[in-house]
Structure 1
Amino acid sequence: MFSLSLSSLSFLLPILIYAAVATASTQFIKLPLLHKTQHPNQNSFSRSHPHPHPHHHRHRQTLKSPVISGAFAGSGQYFISLHIGSPPQPLLLVADTGSDLIWVKCSACRNCSLHSPRSTFLSRHSSSFYPHHCFQSTCRNLVPHPHPNTCNHTKLHSPCRYEYSYADGSLTSGFFSQEIITFNTTTAQQLQFKDFNFGCGFHNSGPSITGGSFNGANGVMGLGRGPISFSSQLGRRFGNKFSYCLMDYTLSPPPTSFLVIGSEQNDVVGVNSKINFTPLLMNPISPTFYYIGIKSVYVDDVKLRINPSVWSIDELGNGGTIIDSGTTLTLLAEPAYREILTAFKRRVKLPSPAEPILGFDLCVNVSGGLSTSYPKLSFELVGGSVFRPPQGNYFIETSDLVECLAMQPINQESGPSVIGNLMQQGFLFEFDRDRSRLGFSRHGCAIP
């Protein structure tokens, strides 16, 4: 088990509109991913270890969801809008490729006047809500996250209880349940999926899931590699592939982008020839994560002296590098981070701000009025592809006229490095689990 920071920053990000499309040949459903911002912190989610995903049927339909940036609530996440229950209740979930469990804040109230609208899932108001029994095979998929007392042998109908803890002591627990999820399409159709498994969290505590970094969120949508994740459950119907774009929060007006579950035939015309691929690596100790292999790092086309072992997964499952939409900043192994930081400090000649910015080792004052140009950063990946993020992905405005290097050293020696959602902005990322590869491209994100 490894914990990753849901750290966040104080900038405003666009809010996109929920939309959906359905055509005669292919279905498209668009859910908002909301980016939320706050000051950086080290509150951490404890990432689960999934189980090998089951066989997926190769359908060619596609579920397509709008990706939305959610600065309105002030955190550092992207969200998806999901409708759960009968009648459907709209909720906003953190889109997280670094975990499997889908869970929402729940209430068993009968008189729910004390709850603000859309703040929690009201299980008693849904006619289709069904908590799994503790002896069902679905409950066993929660290992190692069932509640310690999930099966009470003194009761014939003990529900399947889950308990999911985080590194800072945060905890969500409740019933692992089944529901109907609904997507409204722009053609006035409704697409429903039954037997959708999720955690109904009746007890949620701790700063990671009740503090400022979680403002506006009703739960977490796990998109990891395990069988209970959102991408796995819907992947059984739509194919074993998903993709998304996390749009640049600085763009105005905000462009619409999408989370796509399945393999879309015509969504990225002209992109396939421009997409780069790198293998997705497996770590048996942490099979939830989407690992990629980094060979080298360059600053202004100068290769940094980083020992390749810094990026490798050792025999105990430690190390490696993962792609995580649920972490804001990019977190790097200490030796790699120090080399990158030193290289930038040598090349960036702008003055430092009057006061240090908490959580950042390199910040500059950009009050000169001229456009700022930073050194070029690039990652050479296994397979020969090169990831070249624009400077806005690794230097961000943290306060008025102050910009900082949006990276931090990983705070666990054994933990993987993390390519966070800021570094991913403006790229189409395609997670192809059948071929075990990650595709990425600067083309194909913005949809007219």
Structure 2
Amino acid sequence: MKWRPLLLSPLLFIFLVSISTVFHGLVLSHTIPEERDHQHSNKMRLELIHRHSPQLIGKLVHEASNNNMPKSQQERILQLVLRDTTRHRMISHKRGQYGPNSRRKNWEFNTSIEMPMHSGADYGAGEYFVQVRVGKPAQKFMLIADTGSDLTWVYCSTRNTHKRRQGNHRRVFHADRSSSFETIPCLSNMCKVQLADLFSLTTCPTPITPCAYDFSYIDGSAALGIFADDTITVGLTNGRKMMLDNVLVGCTESTQGAAFKGADGVLGLGYGKFSFATKAAEKFGGKFSYCLVDHLSPMNISNYLIFGGTRNEHSLLGNVRYTKLLLNVIPSSYAINVKGISIGDVMLRIPFEVWDANVGGGTILDSGTSLTILAEPAYKPVMNALGMSLSKYKRLLSDIKPFEYCFNSTGFDQSLVPRLVFHFADGARFEPLVKSYIIDVAPQTKCLGFLSVRWPGTSIIGNIMQQNHLWEFDLVRSVVGFAPSSCTCT
């Protein structure tokens, strides 16, 4: 193991929500044999865990004791909205700063990985978690699964910083205990050029100083650390484990703010050159998929983040439909070509420019944003149409900011609500469940689960809208498949 002292520069004002996984050079791997072999070994999977799963109960109890956890469903939703709003600002900032990146599509392997994913009691913010093992020997962490992030990082302690551990997270990666931990020099081309878009710092007092990063949020949250090569261990469906060597991982030594509450870091699943999704998909057939269980699901309902071509067909409740992924159009994001939205089989009058990423619009799928965010020219028609269909229920005064439309849900019958459908330019249709856009906010209180962003702006289909559907990202064919699903494992 090689470790070099860390020198941190002053904070850069960068929106941190896009923290993601980075890999250095070629991803090498080898498998660790287990006692049993299963019939299928063509995929890797990570368990997806809602951030308030009972698996994290120790963290949640600790946070509640520090008055960090919301005390009601309404407070949880309001915290969720604050995070989504900050995140959207970050996405808009990235669109203005970075242009499209060309990508070499070289899918070298044809095997797969499977990573477990669980749901839990729904209180607090609204992300999903995966368990990731970093280092040799492996150390376990719960990371936010984020398709809007490129950099994977974990809370980290080098041998000289053990006493600087923070109290708001339970798991810390001990770099000095990993024989495969090796920092990236700040004078290297990797630091100065390849990691520039991942916010590497330019200061380099000595040739052996580690390459540092510095992220900060508009709300004051920040993360500072160093880049290093290390090993990530993943599970295969044949019961074996595989080591991915020489993976570039962010070693975060300090954070500020509450943006990462309950998590040990972030697993970057964005479409970036160094993201975990890009590298793992390269090795496992160019595909990854997930199926988000209901964000209010109990602990015994779970699913997986899967890398590889095999998916669980038994839980599907309809045919898989495909639409084109517009890769490299919106940096690090999975953009899709929406043509319009209909409600009750009536196509809403929304200007085409709202869906055109080339003129400042466009739509992305984002597992790290909870609610669905629509540019204002689309938001108003959607809210008006759904509001009319809910007029029989008593509308509540707008004291649940920033939701525009809330109502008393006593006697609510969702079967009477006209269905909302996203229409894609190639003819595919995505029809989410009613509960995915008319959401529970408080007892006997439901709200239309949309947020507005000023035009021009990016629209986002968040994880609540995606719930109870399989989403399969095929980076070779540049398409995403989706189908209704119970998202239960069989």
Tell whether the 8 Å contact from 1:283 to 1:313 is kept in structure 2 after alignment: no
Aligned counterparts of 2:152 and 2:17: Cα–Cα separation in 1: 18
Letter aligned with residue 88 of structure 1: A
User: SS state of the match for residue 280, structure 1?
Assistant: strand
Q: Does 1:32 align with 2:47?
A: yes
Q: Which runs of 5+ in 1 are unaligned?
A: 7-19
Aligned counterparts of 1:138 and 1:262: Cα–Cα separation in 2: 28
% identical aligned pairs? 34
> In the TM superposition, what are the counterparts of 1:21-100 in structure 2 within 5 Å?
23=38, 25-36=40-51, 38-40=76-78, 41-43=81-83, 44-45=86-87, 46-47=90-91, 51-71=101-121, 74-100=124-150
Q: CA deviation at 1:321?
A: 0.3
Q: Which runs of 5+ in 2 are unaligned?
A: 1-12, 19-33, 53-75
Q: Which moved more, 1:423-432 or 1:266-275?
A: 266-275
Inter-CA distance 440–107: structure 2 relative to 1 (3 Å threshold): same
Inter-CA distance 222–369: structure 2 relative to 1 (3 Å threshold): closer
Aligned to 2:224: 173
User: SS state of the match for residue 440, structure 1?
Assistant: strand
Q: CA deviation at 1:163?
A: 2.3
Tell whether the 8 Å contact from 1:33 to 1:94 is kept in structure 2 after alignment: no
Larger relative helix fraction: 2
Aligned counterpart in structure 2 of residue 202 of structure 1, from 250, 253, 257: 253
User: SS state of the match for residue 197, structure 2?
Assistant: coil
Tell whether the 8 Å contact from 2:354 to 2:456 is kept in structure 1 after alignment: no
Aligned counterpart in structure 2 of residue 268 of structure 1, from 309, 313, 317: 313
Deviations 1:250-271 (A, max 9, x none): 455743211111222x643696
Letter aligned with residue 223 of structure 1: L
Aligned counterparts of 2:415 and 2:397: Cα–Cα separation in 1: 18
Aligned to 1:395: 438
Aligned counterpart in structure 2 of residue 309 of structure 1, from 350, 353, 358: 353
- Could you tell me the TM-score, scaled by structure 1's length? 0.85
Q: CA deviation at 1:310?
A: 1.3
Letter aligned with residue 301 of structure 2: P
Q: CA deviation at 1:122?
A: 2.0
Q: CA deviation at 1:115?
A: 6.4
Tell whether the 8 Å contact from 1:298 to 1:379 is kept in structure 2 after alignment: yes
Tell whether the 8 Å contact from 2:186 to 2:207 is kept in structure 1 after alignment: no
Aligned counterparts of 2:39 and 2:229: Cα–Cα separation in 1: 29
Q: Does 1:432 align with 2:484?
A: no
Q: CA deviation at 1:345?
A: 1.2
Tell whether the 8 Å contact from 1:78 to 1:94 is kept in structure 2 after alignment: yes
Aligned counterparts of 1:122 and 1:301: Cα–Cα separation in 2: 56
User: SS state of the match for residue 295, structure 1?
Assistant: strand
Aligned counterparts of 1:73 and 1:91: Cα–Cα separation in 2: 21
Inter-CA distance 283–88: structure 2 relative to 1 (3 Å threshold): closer
Q: Which moved more, 1:86-95 or 1:346-355?
A: 346-355
Tell whether the 8 Å contact from 1:56 to 1:239 is kept in structure 2 after alignment: no
Tell whether the 8 Å contact from 1:147 to 1:173 is kept in structure 2 after alignment: no
Inter-CA distance 162–273: structure 2 relative to 1 (3 Å threshold): same
Q: CA deviation at 1:106?
A: 1.5
Inter-CA distance 53–121: structure 2 relative to 1 (3 Å threshold): farther
User: SS state of the match for residue 430, structure 1?
Assistant: strand
Letter aligned with residue 393 of structure 1: S
Inter-CA distance 119–89: structure 2 relative to 1 (3 Å threshold): same
Aligned to 1:404: 447
User: SS state of the match for residue 277, structure 2?
Assistant: helix
Q: CA deviation at 1:2?
A: 9.9
Q: CA deviation at 1:97?
A: 0.7
Q: Does 1:145 align with 2:198?
A: yes
Q: CA deviation at 1:150?
A: 4.2
Deviations 1:38-94 (A, max 9, x none): 232334243455844444334221111122225477221011110111221111111
User: SS state of the match for residue 234, structure 1?
Assistant: helix
Aligned counterparts of 2:235 and 2:336: Cα–Cα separation in 1: 35
Q: How many residues align?
A: 423
- Could you tell me the TM-score, scaled by structure 2's length? 0.78
Q: Which moved more, 1:366-375 or 1:338-347?
A: 366-375
Tell whether the 8 Å contact from 2:212 to 2:225 is kept in structure 1 after alignment: yes
Inter-CA distance 371–330: structure 2 relative to 1 (3 Å threshold): closer
Inter-CA distance 52–95: structure 2 relative to 1 (3 Å threshold): farther
User: SS state of the match for residue 228, structure 1?
Assistant: coil
Letter aligned with residue 129 of structure 1: F
Aligned to 1:193: 244
Which structure has more relative contact order (CA 8 Å, sep 6+)? It is 2
Q: CA deviation at 1:358?
A: 2.1
Aligned counterparts of 1:294 and 1:355: Cα–Cα separation in 2: 30
Deviations 1:405-447 (A, max 9, x none): 111102x544310000000001101111111111111147322
Aligned to 1:16: none
